[in-house]
Amino acid sequence: MALKKNTGGGYKMQDVRFSSVDEFLDYLPADELKITERLRKIIFDCAPHIKEQLSYNVPFYKINKGLFFIWPASVLWGKSKTHCGVRFGFQQGYLLTDETNYLDKGGRKQVYYRNFNQPNEIDTDLLKSYIFEAIAVDEQFRKTK
């Protein structure tokens, strides 16, 4: 693995830098890797054409505008863990229907998320319904040519 220590000048919020999603996946502990791989499969099952790229050293997903991210707890933001397990975030979560409060708002105005500590906590059908709704909402951001 070609993991790079972040040695740039000044205070940096992360101590590592990945050059690819594969490098990111190689870094994860086994428990987070299982959850992350399952979440990635669900995303690609719902939207095979979605763009995946690293941002803040974790995978972010986009069609027209930012849609989702997968943030394992082992990829720190700052000096300590901010959550446990793997966080699945909806970048435009505030635009989704969430009558059952499945998503955690965390006091945030826009980005909503759900944390998973075990693969069996993922209700695939329910998560897919949120993903499909987010993709439908994302259509409003399509650029016309």
Task: Report the b/e string of 87-121 with b at 16+ CB within 10 A.
Answer: bbbbbbbeebeeeeeebbeeeeeebbbbbbeeeee
Residue indicated by tokens 């990829």: 75
User: Taking residues 92-120, what's their average pLDDT?
Assistant: 93
- For the chain, the domain total comes to 1
* CATH value at residue 132: 3.90.1150.200
d(CA 117, CA 37): 13
Q: Is it the case that residue 13 has pLDDT exceeding 70?
A: no
Residue indicated by tokens 């994860």: 28
Residue 67 DSSP SS3 = strand
Q: At residue 59, what is the residue type? A: P
* Selected residue with higher pLDDT from 145 and 74: 74
Mean pLDDT of the chain: 87
pLDDT tens digit sequence for 19-73 = 899 999 999 999 999 999 999 999 999 999 999 999 988 999 999 999 999 999 9
Write the CA distances from 122 to 20, 25, 34, 35, 93, integer angstroms: 25, 19, 11, 8, 18
So what's the pLDDT on residue 34?
97
Q: What is the DSSP letter of 57?
A: T
The half-sphere exposure of 137 on its side-chain side, counting CA atoms within 13 A, is: 19
pTM across the whole model? 0.85
Q: Which domain does 83 fall in, by range?
A: 4-141
Q: Name the maximum alpha-carbon separation found in the chain.
A: 45
